[in-house]
Amino acid sequence: MSSFVDSALDLPAKVALLTGASMFTLRPEPAIGLAELRLSDGPTGVRGLTFSGGPAVTLFPNATLLASAWNTGTAYEVGRLLAEEAAAQGIHVVLGPTINLHRSPLGGRLFEAYSEDPLLSGALAAAYVRGLQDNGVGACLKHLVANESETERHAVDCVVDEATLREVYLLPFEIAVADADAWSIMAAYNRVNGTPATEQAHVITDIVKGEWGYRGLVVSDWWATTSTAPSANAGLDLVMPGPAGPWGRQLVDAVKAGEVDEAVIDDHLGRLLLLAERVGAPQPSREVPAPDSPVRRAQLTRLAAEGMTVLTNEGGVLPLRRDTTVALIGRHAVDTIDMGGGSAQVNPPYQVSVAEGLTELLAVTVVDGVEVRERPVPAGPEFAVHPDTGEPGMRVTLHAADGSQLEERDCPAASTMIGIDDDLPEPPRVVRLSARLPRGGRMLVGGIGIGTWEVRAGGQTVRFELGLTSGDVGEAVLRPPGGTVLVDVEPGELFEADVALDAGRGLYGLVARPAPDDVADVVGRAVAAARSVDVAVVVVGLTEEQETEAVDKTTLRLPGAQDDLVAAVAAVAPHTVVVVNAATPVLMPWLDQVDAVLWAGLPGQEGGHAVAAALLGDIEPAGRLVTTFPAADGASPAWSVTPVAGRLEYAEGPFVGYRGHAADKAPAPAFWLGHGLGYSTWAYSDAAALDDVGHRVAVTVTNTGGRTSREVVQVYFRPADEDQPVRLVGWGAATVEPGQSARVEVTGDPRLRRRWDTAQGSWADLPREGELLLARGLGDVRATLRLGSA
């Protein structure tokens, strides 16, 4: 702490800076020349300073899809583009990347994190961080640590042995700190081995700031901090959001009472000032391509398509020829899901569905699919429009207890956050939501959000109560209760709902959609269309109900009757291609009945164009899986995410994902991490270790197919000691023309060749005995190099 700061600010003034000023801003302090700092979620777009109702911003492909390119250049490019987006809005720090691991496939938030593998996650994170920070915008690694699932997320105690913690769950953080010096890190909601992550002196102070020499800022996850002295003393530097919170006056008192040393406060403030210095003054005027500009469209299409992954491709049905006739089937074809739910959501300027994308390129018959929603969701733009302007969205008026109007909002979507990131003179008591229903016919209408509802539509007035279903009011924002009713409406009719609020805050929205069709009718239409074309393309998937913050999955089964739809189509179509519009593993009971499966992730606003480009081979879907797909529910090394008496045991230790499958701790998976066919075939030859420890290896890859393609050579180390799991130690890639070869060299990361010696409290080198596997996922090992003793 400089003596200037020390003399300019007294203790309360210093402490005041250590809690946010609002949801996403930090307090300025003119006395020391400190300007307001602005933070924004991340990680797949820069949403802005509010949770909902923000500006239209670019929606990138989700983290797993980007990670599937296995390309640090891609991760760097995304960081750089996000820095542009941040600069355009005067944002200093983007709250990402999310680098928790895909421990159990049930984890709701996996879509937001890169991989089940710590090296892949860490290396991509480091590149993304450099992309942001090289361009003056701070990154925030989140969430430190052992934050791999959502159930009871504010209280769960994740029990992880020290070796696993360091070798697996801390490793991505360590890599991103050591290799990219991320300017901030977010402490998680959960407990780790009994202690809240925000009070984890062992992790924050001993390991991160101590052993790793980290100079950056550790910020709490939003509302995660529940203590004063314990969190301040543990190394947490900043409490978010503000202005209220457990520090402030109480922290001043704790210092006066001798519970917290003033030097601790100075250290926190010093780190905050370093962040301010690093991010500098924002440059909001910087020329940045608009979210809907041709340059962004092209970037987003390429980024999404390159990560898409060909899981199967019998008889080379993919890529589709341009003269193919196609029946494009499925709810996800017409209502493509481009992002997950929760804080990673942004408000994109537009979203291209697969139906829109493919019909631009091919003769396509589009057939809507079966229902995929399990609870009411806000109306899509085509089903609810502002009553006056006719633009997608709704009008919202907020009223005080005496009926006076506090605010009127024009919302571009059919949902809005109330009482959370707005600044109202008093809590609203009644909210009126109004829209017109442009389409007539039988509709399912209603509302989402806690309160007492009166809904008026189709000449009917319906009243219902919506209470908390689980968690608290804050969490209900991410999973609000809903109520619906079927009504017959005339096109353009007014639809209104008055809600008496209990809590005064939450997410509120209007539900409006056509009444669901009978499954047999939907399947019948799909089958009829599939019979008369060359290829049926069925788009299935998950939605932001499953791929979301705050809620975990309970099954990997596709929701609704989607599996039945695929099976029925596959039974009659000459060829069937399934596109999976999901970020995380799903079960595919129809796998043997279809010709090809393309895994499309949550592809961002250009999703439909990217899927079309991948299906036609205009861009090679050269992705490799970033997580292992179990063959059945329960068939993974870690499965349950439900704490037992508040504790979630990471009992599989370091045998997470493919590492556990390979050690027979779970049945053989449907697809291994690293699997992906691209659009060519490969021969491997002349594999060799380039040094006697096997840190550097080389292999020749020959493109034996008919198309230029990108091959990813993965190198795994299988230690002779069976207590040590096989692990990815590095990868390399080459883009090669048909009939040509390339020599690919891979340098392994030495951090994967060590183990944590708990008794000694230090790292030890792993014995060099073992094997190096050169593979395309562990289900397709192409060369094995034995490593002897020294």
Minimum distance from CB of 221 to ligand BGC (Å)? Answer: 5
Q: Is 41 in the site for ligand BGC (CB under 6 A)?
A: yes
Q: Which residue is nearest to ligand BGC (CB)?
A: 343
Minimum distance from CB of 186 to ligand BGC (Å)? Answer: 7
Minimum distance from CB of 189 to ligand BGC (Å)? Answer: 7
Among 26, 81, 94, 95, binds ligand BGC (CB under 6 A): 95
Q: Is 150 in the site for ligand BGC (CB under 6 A)?
A: no
Minimum distance from CB of 95 to ligand BGC (Å)? Answer: 4
Site string for ligand BGC, 188-207 (x = CB under 6 A): --------------------
Q: Is 142 in the site for ligand BGC (CB under 6 A)?
A: yes
* C-alpha–C-alpha distance, residues 636 and 515, integer Å: 38
Minimum distance from CB of 40 to ligand BGC (Å)? Answer: 9
In the window 498-557, what residues touch ligand BGC (CB under 6 A)? none
Closest CA to 247 of 237, 8, 191: 237
Is 117 noted as a catalytic residue in this protein?
no
Minimum distance from CB of 452 to ligand BGC (Å)? Answer: 27
Closest CA to 238 of 181, 277, 193, 183: 183
Q: What are the structure tokens assigned to 698, written together? A: 């080389």
Cis previous bond, 213, omega within 30: no
Q: Do 654 and 167 form a contact (C-beta atoms < 8 A)?
A: yes
Of 106 and 775, which has the nearer Cβ to ligand BGC?
106
Q: Which contacts of 11-17 are long-range, i.e. CB under 8 A and separated by 24 or more positions?
A: 11/252, 11/255, 11/256, 11/262, 11/265, 12/249, 12/252, 14/265, 14/266, 14/269, 15/247, 15/248, 15/251, 15/252, 15/255, 15/265, 16/248, 17/269, 17/272
What is the number of other CB atoms lying within 10 angstroms of the CB of residue 511?
27
DSSP assignment, residue 29? B
Of 109 and 296, which has the nearer Cβ to ligand BGC?
109
Among 60, 114, 183, 222, binds ligand BGC (CB under 6 A): 222
What is the number of other CB atoms lying within 10 angstroms of the CB of residue 359?
17
Q: Do 480 and 414 form a contact (C-beta atoms < 8 A)?
A: no
Of 475 and 620, which has the nearer Cβ to ligand BGC?
475
Q: What are the structure tokens assigned to 500, written together? A: 């008496």
Of 173 and 717, which has the nearer Cβ to ligand BGC?
173
Q: Is 221 in the site for ligand BGC (CB under 6 A)?
A: yes
Among 25, 52, 299, 343, binds ligand BGC (CB under 6 A): 343
Minimum distance from CB of 54 to ligand BGC (Å)? Answer: 12
Q: How far apart are the first and last CA of the chain?
A: 49
Of 62 and 312, which has the nearer Cβ to ligand BGC?
62
Minimum distance from CB of 100 to ligand BGC (Å)? Answer: 10
Of 111 and 222, which has the nearer Cβ to ligand BGC?
222
* C-alpha–C-alpha distance, residues 21 and 26, integer Å: 5
Of 109 and 609, which has the nearer Cβ to ligand BGC?
109
Q: Is 154 in the site for ligand BGC (CB under 6 A)?
A: no
* C-alpha–C-alpha distance, residues 578 and 311, integer Å: 10
Sign of the Cα pseudo-torsion (609, 614, 616, 617, in order):
positive
Q: Collect all residues with Cβ–Cβ distance below 8 Å to 636 and sequence separation of at least 6.
A: 104, 105, 628, 630, 657, 660, 661, 666, 669
Of 41, 221, 237, 422, which residue is the catalytic one?
A: 221
Question: Total residues contacting ligand BGC (rule CB under 6 A)?
Answer: 6
In the window 52-91, what residues touch ligand BGC (CB under 6 A)? none
* C-alpha–C-alpha distance, residues 540 and 333, integer Å: 8
Q: What are the structure tokens assigned to 651, written together? A: 């009992």
Of 343 and 562, which has the nearer Cβ to ligand BGC?
343
Minimum distance from CB of 41 to ligand BGC (Å)? Answer: 5
Minimum distance from CB of 409 to ligand BGC (Å)? Answer: 20
* C-alpha–C-alpha distance, residues 114 and 78, integer Å: 13
* C-alpha–C-alpha distance, residues 153 and 231, integer Å: 18
Of 222 and 590, which has the nearer Cβ to ligand BGC?
222
Q: Is 475 in the site for ligand BGC (CB under 6 A)?
A: no
Rg from Cα positions in the chain: 26
DSSP assignment, residue 536? E
Site string for ligand BGC, 234-273 (x = CB under 6 A): ----------------------------------------
* C-alpha–C-alpha distance, residues 518 and 566, integer Å: 16
Q: Is 148 in the site for ligand BGC (CB under 6 A)?
A: no
Query: What angle separates helix 118-133 from helix 72-89, to the nearest 10 degrees?
Result: 40
Instruction: Provide the annotated active-site residues.
Output: 221
Q: Which residues bind ligand BGC (CB under 6 A)?
A: 41, 95, 142, 221-222, 343
